[in-house]
Amino acid sequence: MCSIEDSPIIFDEVKIKPEVKICIKCKTSTATILIRHSTYCKPCFQHVFVGKFRKNMEKYKTSNSKIDEKVMIGLSGGPSSRAMLHLLSEIFSHELSKKQSFTEVWVCHIDENSIFNLKDSTINQVEQIVQKYNSLFIGLRIEDIYSDEFTSNMEFGQVLKISIDKSKQQEFNEFNATIRQNKELSNKEKLQSLLECISNLTSKEDFVWYLKLSLLIQTARKKGCTRLFLGDCSTRLATKIISLTSKGRGSSLPIEILGENNYFGDVIISRPMKDMISKEIGLYNHYLGFETVFIPSLTSLQPSKSSIERLTEDFIVGLERDYPSTVSTIARTGSKLTISNSIDDENRCALCLMPYRNENKFFQNRITLTKIPSSISTTNDCNTATNNCNDHCNPVTVSCSQSCCSDCIKPTKLDHQNIEINNTLCHACRVNMRDINEIFLPPYVAEEAKRQNRRLDLRKNIEEFLIDDIDDDQ
Amino acid sequence: MVRTCVICNKERAIIKRPKTRQQACRECFYYVFETEIHNTIIDSKLFNKGDKVAIAASGGKDSTVLAYVLKLLNERYQYGIELFLLSIDEGITGYRDDSLETVKRNQQQYDLPLKIVSYSELYGWNMDQIVKEVGLKNNCTFCGVFRRQALDRGAVMLEVDHIVTGHNADDIAETVLMNIMRGDIARLSRCTEICTNGDECIRRSKPFKYTYEKEIVMYAYFKKLDYFSTECIYSPNSYRGHVRTFLKDLEGIRSIAIIDIIHSGEAFELKKGVKLPIQGVCKRCGYISSNEFCKACVLLEGLNRGLPKLGIGKTNKMLKKYGNMPEGMATIPKFMNKNSDSVSEQC
Amino acid sequence: MTQPLIKVNLFFSGGLEILFDNIKQKTVEISSSINPPNQTKMEDLIKWIRENLIKTKPELFMTGNTIRPGILILINDVDWEVEGELEYTIKDGDNIHFLSTLHGG
């Protein structure tokens, strides 16, 4: 059967070469820029560009803004955040003269060079840019996420060690996790060993992004900022919509792409660059003579098929050339999505901090069988024993008698606590875990996993008194 | 080195399973393949005992394997359903005429009753004629719209409760991506539903929702099933082609991506206030439609009036441009459901 | 017969410089007609750069016979898409910026 369903697909927006070379806005000057199907002269282009930005900022002001707000700008130093810094500063200085909203503006930069083992730090370069503006600067390194202070209580000194025994026929997503003291290696070494132990670039990119996001949010909290500006532009958002979908992150997608959302409660995330495509930003920066900092990525100089993120970017940008409505249509689709009400915000992945649905694990095992009943009963008992342990083991004190299950019989010391992690990770993070052997996750993950375990334990105690929709269904 | 099946740990592995990249032997592959489909059917409560179910059969790999597996599972797990084959003859010389021969052989092989509905008898046009009229650009739109109605009409003729189609995980993942990329919010929110019965009277479902295309091919290959494997000669437009290539590349990077896209699609929820089309019925033929006239009637009108672009694009805009559809020109037979005079009263 | 030479100032930025040994600016002299009798066009210049200047991974600079999508070209500060893209005839003293807008390298 032909898979094409019944709806017409109209893409008559195939690229047409501009015939009229007059700016469509002032209708007098010669056009020097083509954005989608519209030709502009330089001044009109800049006017339209700044106008789009202002419009988004106006929206935030009317919706969520508080008086005397402290805000933070996430600045990678790349084109989009660089342009955003300038545009925001203009608005801030304008507002300060009118005695309005923002009382303190922080700029936060995260140096990622340890990922690539580069000596030079990007912090100085970025700081020089920020000095031109009237903002406070904080420069961090990505490995700082392993420091105790980037946790909710700002002193949680433990890391989470996760290991997968590949020799065992693992159930779809079962990992062993122990809580350890956060002292054995330097933060940089911990980060580097984390990345070394992830065999796949897609997963690596995912880890790095969520470490960065957590770092940004924790930093904003520490500084008392109630709003975090991120520089995602329309091209980037379109790419993210497709790549997040492809990584099974549909339920948290809106949080990562919406122009504004308050999922993180005390820190609102705003994306004022969401309506500009990367071409516009490149041109804007070029005309204003802004320098950007080149930030290598995990897929720099790699082929297109090296990661999902990279493949998606090439796909979207390539399509956009021939069908210039691609990016805007995808971004528009994304903007109509919302975080489901049915998602309990307690179900927050310990690693990526995103909400997830509960039933995932069961569902995956039903549609992707890795065992057959006879093999479960005839092969060595280790599999089933592991499963049993995971069901029965108390997260802290372990009382499992099966001798085959080595992880469970180890005597538990205070700094070597087994912890049930499988129920505290979202589907996409569990998929990523399959690409690892043994890694150390930062304290914030350990802290969150512990918190959720406590909650699950509590829940177990009162379970028989809870009225659950899921129970009704079964 | 002889590789051992990682599922049974006994037999020699002969394939690497596309879905999990596990090495498996033939019997274990059959078992997991069939059982996953069975789990999908059970978990989604697709069938009720006594249901009459039409398999949309094109003669291609998906529907051939679907017919084979459903017959097998129906016997193995005693679903107690009655199966039929329902084929649509789009009238594509050198493609459908040959594949219909396959369906006719399947009818013998699986001993299932077969009904063929043709575009010519239903619409007065076949795809060869349509392509002559509209060219190769929007032909898939015509075919898709016409097929959907033809299946429902065939199902009414067979008096079945339920149509199952061979749409596999790859098809659904592709549809999710296409709907995002063309901004079709209404379809995006329902394209991952395994079974649609809210907005139409004949249930329609996709038991292969979580089944990989490659595994369907493997299954058909090892079971030596008789299927027709030529691509449609009026192949889909290039935009969809790009999406298809992207999906294959994604699968190459990470095989679970196909399931993950469906998983994401299931989680999508629309903001309050996003306008969705309201389902009604076509004024002309009685088929479900979110507009005054259903897409098939508009497309057909366009064909008959020599305005093939009439149904392409936003219907209302086009009707304004080309003039409205005169009343009372029933060109497609009135759509009648077995339980009622017209679908409208039930839906 | 040798063709007269024209000077072109090339600029690489946005991460593109890593394909050129981190050189951000280079003045080059190329023949005014690479494909005589036709004058040198943007298409010829891009090919020439690929053959003469790129140090690594030419596929990250070009796809098919044109520039890789996501790389902006500005000819004397004017968007090359307004200037006829590959059909633009290179002139002596042109400033040509190649600006990558890609996120993932």
Rounded alpha-carbon distances, angstroms, from residue A53 to A46, C77, C86? 11, 23, 32
ipTM for the complex shown: 0.92
Give the CA-trace dihedral at A329, A332, A334, A338, to 10 degrees. -160
Reply yes or no on whether the pLDDT at A48 is more than 80: yes
Structure tokens at A466: 């809870």
For B259, the closest chain A residue by CA position comes to A248
Reply yes or no on whether the pLDDT at A67 is more than 50: yes
CA B258 to the chain's CA centroid: 17
Confidence class of residue A15 from pLDDT cuts 50, 70 and 90? Answer: low
Share of chain B above pLDDT 70, in %: 90
Give the CA-trace dihedral at A315, A320, A323, A327, to 10 degrees. 100
Reply yes or no on whether the pLDDT at B313 is more than 70: no
Nearest to A321 among C69, C82, C84 (CB): C69
A102 has which bridge partners?
A: A69
Reply yes or no on whether the pLDDT at A111 is more than 80: yes
A253 chain-B contacts, CB cut-off 8 A = 264, 267-268
Q: Is B342 annotated as a binding residue?
A: no
Q: Rounded CA gap, A106 and A226, in Å?
A: 11
Structure tokens at A168: 């065992």
List all residues of chain A from 240 to 299 with a beta carbon under 8 Å from chain C: 278-279, 281-283, 286-287, 292, 294, 296-297, 299
Summarised one tens digit per residue, pLDDT across range C46-76 is 999 999 999 999 999 999 999 999 999 999 9
Summarised one tens digit per residue, pLDDT across range A248-285 is 999 999 999 999 988 998 999 999 999 999 999 999 99
As a whole number, mean pLDDT of residues A200-211 equals 95
Structure tokens at C47: 């090919």
Mutate to test the interface with C, among A34, A118, A243 (most CBs of C within 10 A): A34
Stretch(es) of chain B classified as CATH 3.40.50.620: 26-276
Inter-chain contact C103–A297, Cβ cutoff 8 Å? Answer: yes
As a whole number, mean pLDDT of residues C26-42 equals 91
Q: Rounded CA gap, B188 and A338, in Å?
A: 13
Based on the number of CB atoms within 10 Å of its own CB, is B323 exposed (0-12), middle (13-18) or buried (19 or more)? exposed
**Strands C66-67, C94-100: pairing kind:** unpaired
Structure tokens at A189: 């070494």
CB B180 within 8 A of CB A9: no
As a whole number, mean pLDDT of residues C16-45 equals 92
Task: Report pLDDT for A399.
Answer: 35
Confidence class of residue A173 from pLDDT cuts 50, 70 and 90? Answer: low
CB C92 within 8 A of CB C7: yes
Task: Report pLDDT for A63.
Answer: 65
As a whole number, mean pLDDT of residues A432-449 equals 90
Question: Per mean pLDDT, which of A87-96, A373-382, B9-18 is the most reliable?
Answer: B9-18
CB A383 within 8 A of CB A169: yes
Task: Report pLDDT for A103.
Answer: 82
3-state percent helix, strand, coil for chain B, nearest multiple of 5: 45, 10, 45
Q: Rounded CA gap, B275 and A158, in Å?
A: 49
Domains of chain A, first to last:
18-64 (no CATH), 66-153+185-334 (3.40.50.620)
What is the largest distance, in Å, between two alpha-carbon atoms of chain A? Answer: 84
Task: Report pLDDT for A415.
Answer: 46
Q: Rounded CA gap, B24 and B13, in Å?
A: 5
Confidence class of residue B138 from pLDDT cuts 50, 70 and 90? Answer: confident
Q: Rounded CA gap, B28 and B24, in Å?
A: 6
Task: Report pLDDT for A377.
Answer: 43
User: Hey, where are the domains in chain C?
Assistant: 5-100
A441 has which bridge partners?
A: A160
B154 phi and psi angles, rounded to 5 deg: -60, -40
Q: Identify the residue with better confidence: B42 or A420.
A: B42
Three-state SS at C27? strand
Reply yes or no on whether the pLDDT at A75 is more than 90: yes
Confidence class of residue B285 from pLDDT cuts 50, 70 and 90? Answer: confident
Q: Is B171 annotated as a binding residue?
A: yes
Reply yes or no on whether the pLDDT at B315 is more than 60: yes
Rounded alpha-carbon distances, angstroms, from residue A181 to A161, A192, A433? 10, 18, 21
Q: Rounded CA gap, B25 and A314, in Å?
A: 37
Mutate to test the interface with B, among A167, A245, A332 (most CBs of B within 10 A): A245
Share of chain C above pLDDT 90, in %: 88
CA-nearest of A231, A318, A243 to C71 is A318
CB B116 within 8 A of CB B91: no
Is it true that the peptide bond before C37 is cis, omega within 30 degrees of 0?
A: yes
Q: Rounded CA gap, A212 and C64, in Å?
A: 36
Architecture (CATH level 2) of domain C5-100: Roll (3.10)
3-state percent helix, strand, coil for chain C, nearest multiple of 5: 20, 35, 45
Q: Rounded CA gap, A74 and A62, in Å?
A: 22
Give the CA-trace dihedral at B276, B281, B287, B288, to 10 degrees. 20
Point out the least confidently predicted range of A208-212, B133-137, B147-151. B133-137
Summarised one tens digit per residue, pLDDT across range A363-380 is 777 888 887 776 544 433
Task: Report pLDDT for B291.
Answer: 84
Inter-chain contact C104–A296, Cβ cutoff 8 Å? Answer: no
Task: Report pLDDT for B230.
Answer: 83
Q: Is B89 annotated as a binding residue?
A: no
**Strands C71-75, C78-79: pairing kind:** antiparallel
Q: Rounded CA gap, A16 and B184, in Å?
A: 24
Q: Identify the residue with better confidence: C48 or A385.
A: C48
**Strands A158-163, B195-196: pairing kind:** unpaired
Q: Rounded CA gap, A410 and A413, in Å?
A: 9
Inter-chain contact A329–B183, Cβ cutoff 8 Å? Answer: yes
Q: Which fold has domain B26-276?
A: Rossmann fold (3.40.50)
Alpha-carbon distance A10 to nearest alpha carbon in chain B (angstroms): 6
Confidence class of residue A96 from pLDDT cuts 50, 70 and 90? Answer: low
For every residue of B98-129, DSSP letters joined together read HHHHHHHHHHHHHT--EEEEEHHHHHS--HHH
B313 chain-A contacts, CB cut-off 8 A = 8, 10
Confidence class of residue B109 from pLDDT cuts 50, 70 and 90? Answer: very high
A158 has which bridge partners?
A: A181
Q: What 3 state SS string does chain A have?
A: CCCCCCCCCCCCCCCCCCCCCECCCCCCCECCEEECCEEECHHHHHHHHHHHHHHHHHHHHHHCCCCCEEEEEECCCCHHHHHHHHHHHHHHHHHHHCCCCEEEEEEEEEECHHHHCCCCCCHHHHHHHHHCCCCEEEEEEHHHHHCCCCCCCCCCCEEEEEECCCCCCCCCCCCEEEEEECCCCCHHHHHHHHHHCECCHHHHHHHHHHHHHHHHHHHHHHCCCCEEECCCCHHHHHHHHHHHHHCCCCCCHHHHHCCEECCCCCCEEECCCCCCCHHHHHHHHHHHCCCCCCCCCCCCCCCHHHCHHHHHHHHHHHHHHHCCCHHHHHHHHHHCEECCCCCCCCCECCCCCCECCCCHHHHHHHHCCCCCHHHHHHCCCHHHHHHHHHHHCCCCCCCCCCCCCHHHHCCCCCCCEECCCHHHCCHHHHHHHCCECEEEECHHHHHHHHHHHHHHHHHHHHHHHCCCHHHHHC
